[in-house]
Amino acid sequence: MPSYVSRLKADVSRWVEQGMIDQATGQLLVADAEVRNERSFNFGSVLAIMAALLLGAAILLLVAANWEAIPRLVRVGTLFALIFGFYVGGAWLKQRGRDALAEACWLIAAAAFGGSIALVGQMYHLSGDEASAILTWCAGTALAAAALRSSALTVAAVAIAMAWMVMRGIDDWDIVPQFYLVMAAAFWLISYWTQSRPARHLILLSLILYMCIVAAHHDTIAIGIALAIGSALLFILATRAPEPVERIVLLDRRLPVHCLLGFLVGLALAQIDLVDEGGRLALAAVVTFGGIAAALIIAGRESRMLRWLAYTGFGLELAFIYAVMIGTMLGTAGLFLASGVVLGIIALFIIRIERRIRARPVQGGQGA
């Protein structure tokens, strides 16, 4: 998939050739797009973040190894020095406009804080559950994110909270980690302050995961249907009133994509529960196909990501229905035949939709 800048370059050179704009304007347009692209994504900052994650993991593993060769007071002191050095060093870099390096430093500092919690637990043989230690780490990271207005730390705090949620959800079958909803709400608010769009995307994904854990604890089909209906309602809202919704959620107009994912996951939960019930399963499958088609018609033109999610959901649904309903009746040869036919249907479906979308001119919509 060519990047926005390279597609724009092609367009601009065509417009210049056709005399729609002059050479100078074209160069200005391309230069502007390149600068913006640079700001939103460059390999240096991605590598810096990856390096920070690796260094952070190294710190955590070094603690976990309980290495006796270094006296533990030295280990504690080193971790404290890392916390101090990387928080303050990151702030120093930020002041000099090295934003990516600053965020990377802060990530290492947050990892050192988590490592210190683990080391203290190890030093004094604390056997309290890991979940509460992770919660402490999460709170410290969220505090740092808010204090330093760091997007990367906001994402890290959400990720740590997700780890807590999964741990609680798996550890204890009686307890649904409801407290996660409070944390998600708090992180959502923090993400406005820290201007962290990735954090908001991650929170929405984590809420879908939360619903899966709730469904595993309770009534799978009811929770699944509730998730699907909730997602569908939010989808309608987000596509009916895109401007006001975007002003509130600030998600690069990708809220409908999350809604479609929630809808599909909800129906998948319901269908897994209904696997032995032919009639109701078929109904759920029809609703799924209908929902995918509706999502494509309503919002498919606006967002490429939504289209591909819809195609993936469509393909998985077909495969699932095939495995459950037909697969039990046909033999191996039939399986190959049917798979071929099914793949053909998917291909035709995708080609038709893509062609329709290309045929219609885009009015005011943004390609995403």
Partner 1 sequence: MMQKNRLLIIAVVLALAQIGFLAWIIAGRAAILRNGQDVLLKVEPVDPRDLLRGDYVRLGYEISSIPANLVANADAKAPAPDAIFVRLKKDADGFWHPVSGSLGKPAGTPLGTDEAEIRGTTDAGWSAQQNAIIRVDYGIERFYLPEGEGKEIERDMRIRSFSILAAIGKDGTAQIKALMDGDKVLFTEPLY
Q: How far is the CB of 95 from partner 1 (least distance, A)?
A: 6
Q: How far is the CB of 168 from partner 1 (least distance, A)?
A: 14
96 is a contact residue toward partner 1 (CB under 8 A): no
Q: How far apart are CA 68 and CA 157, in angstroms?
A: 30
Helices (H), 18-150: 23-40, 43-64, 72-95, 99-123, 130-148
Q: How far is the CB of 218 from partner 1 (least distance, A)?
A: 18
Q: How far is the CB of 56 from partner 1 (least distance, A)?
A: 15
**Quick one: CA dihedral 329, 333, 336, 337, positive or negative?**
negative
167 is a contact residue toward partner 1 (CB under 8 A): no
Binding test (CB under 8 A) with partner 1, winner from 29, 60, 76, 186: 76
Q: Please identify which residue in the block is written with the tokens 């303050």.
A: 88
Binding test (CB under 8 A) with partner 1, winner from 24, 35, 73, 182: 73
Number of residues that bind partner 1 (CB under 8 A): 36
Binding test (CB under 8 A) with partner 1, winner from 8, 55, 94, 349: 94
144 is a contact residue toward partner 1 (CB under 8 A): yes
351 is a contact residue toward partner 1 (CB under 8 A): no
Q: How far is the CB of 109 from partner 1 (least distance, A)?
A: 7
173 is a contact residue toward partner 1 (CB under 8 A): no
Binding test (CB under 8 A) with partner 1, winner from 19, 24, 124, 331: 124
Find out whether 223 and 215 touch, Cβ atoms under 8 Å.
Answer: yes
DSSP state of 362: P
DSSP one-letter string for 165-197: HHHHHHH-TT---THHHHHHHHHHHHHHHTT-H
Reference 283, options 329, 325, 346; nearest CA is 325
308 is a contact residue toward partner 1 (CB under 8 A): no
CB burial class (10 A; 0-12, 13-18, 19+) of residue 140? buried
Distance of CA 106 to the CA centre of its chain: 21
Which residues sit at the interface with partner 1, rule CB under 8 A? 64-68, 72-73, 76, 80, 83-84, 87-88, 90-92, 94-95, 109, 113, 116-117, 120, 122-128, 140, 143-144, 147-148, 174
